[in-house]
Structure 1
């Protein structure tokens, strides 16, 4: 039996970002499909490297910027087709809205070739002040990164 590696995918999207992510055995339910509760974690696996590469991350030294201290306010998802088995999918994400203290992501879970949409949804986050746990404004650095994720008509 010959094992071949999957060819690298160069995700192409007109706006936002598409991140390849791995689906592991422990992401699956007893039927061999991605468990519904795992989609929020899988979205994090896609969004985190994007922000990390741009200087916004949490590591053993703490927060790189205060913008990393945020909470999910809303998460909604619609499932279209099950993702079967382990492997790789693309997560296409972008921002619909960027407020003073909040942001709303939209996202789609896609096949590697981008032709099949397994699920889509939205996630709203609120940046918090670490001391008061009240909403706090995004820094200029976070706003710059976030603006790059805005869908073109939203950026106007």
Structure 2
């Protein structure tokens, strides 16, 4: 679900995501964010297969990922990932995110992820296409989009 401040995407915590104490393993928070962002873009027609993707930009590499943990997730079940774009430069974009309880009352973790668009022939940074920029527009934080 999209609102004026990003997207809320439901994701599942599976039993095999848990550590020996029954808590979501720290490395799996990044996986939840990946699942949420991937689901959003796939609905818009993005695919890692350039022949099937609605976008030319299919080689998007994560350059940086930061997570701050607040309240552990105990057990399997549904959670929400709230994400948005804080900035979209020429070749890279910064997603902000929060991992929330299913009812959105608890912030389990928050952070940011930096993606770089790569040229498929050289694997060097390449400018985002106009199509991808346009599709990313609704993800831009309103304060950022307004120039604040």
What TM-score bracket applies, with the shorter chain setting the length? over 0.9
| Bigger CA radius of gyration | 1
Q: What residue number does 2:61 align with?
A: 71
**Distance (Å, rounded) in 2 between the aligned partners of 1:51 and 1:138:** 15
Please give the per-residue CA displacement for 1:90-117, whole angstroms capped at 9, x wherever unaligned.
0000000000110000000001111100
Q: How many residues align?
A: 145
Task: Identify unmatched segments of 5+ residues in structure 1.
Answer: 1-10
Classify 1:141/1:44 alpha carbon distance in 2 versus 1 (closer, same or farther; 3 Å).
Answer: same
RMSD, matched Cα: 1.5
**Distance (Å, rounded) in 1 between the aligned partners of 2:141 and 2:119:** 27
Does residue 42 of the first structure (1) align with residue 15 of the second (2)? no
Runs of 4+ in 1 over 6 A off after TM superposition: none
Map residues 1-156 of structure 1 onto 2, 5 A cutoff: 13-59=3-49, 64=53, 65-156=55-146
Residues 79 and 100 in structure 2, CA contact (< 8 A), matched pair in contact too: yes
User: Normalising by the residue count of structure 2, what TM-score does the alignment of the two structures yield?
Assistant: 0.92
| 3-state SS in 1 of match to 2:73 | coil
User: Normalising by the residue count of structure 1, what TM-score does the alignment of the two structures yield?
Assistant: 0.88
